[in-house]
A = this chain, B = another copy of it.
């Protein structure tokens, strides 16, 4: 059993932007030399989330619509009243989905479904530069 740590950065275009991380994650796994185990992904920061999605423009728009229903943008958030920030909803949306994703590594491949991509969902109200931490554990 070995352990390999790496990270990469990706820019987002602001609220409800979705970025496909599958390519960079596959590169990080290849660099690890490991072929069986787990790949753990984490985004630092409290206004961003990781999950999987069939990455196509329709679903990206649909996901933004669902996040708007869960934590609407036209609502007054206590976070904003206290700190003057306009991104109370961003924090809430990010907490509900979560900053972390773990995927299996089988025979050197990240074992995703055919229409399943690893994605970052930007929740903040402005473009951000995000760091993704990648931990590969296995053999």
- The stretch among A8-16, A21-29, A39-47 that forms the contact with chain B is A39-47
Q: How far is the CA of A5 from the CA of B77 in the complex (A)?
A: 39
- Which residue on B lies nearest to A83, using beta carbons? B58
A135 touches B (CB below 8 Å): yes
Q: A46-B53, A116-B46 are in contact. Are A58 and B79 (CB under 8 A)?
A: yes
**Copies of this chain, whole number:** 3
B116 touches A133 (CB 8 A): no
A 90-120 contacts with B by CB, 8 A: 91-92, 94-104, 106, 111-113, 115-116, 119
Using a CB–CB distance below 8 Å, which chain A residues touch chain B? 1-3, 5, 36-38, 40, 42, 44-46, 51-54, 56-59, 61-63, 66, 69-71, 77-83, 88-89, 91-92, 94-104, 106, 111-113, 115-116, 119, 133, 135, 137-139
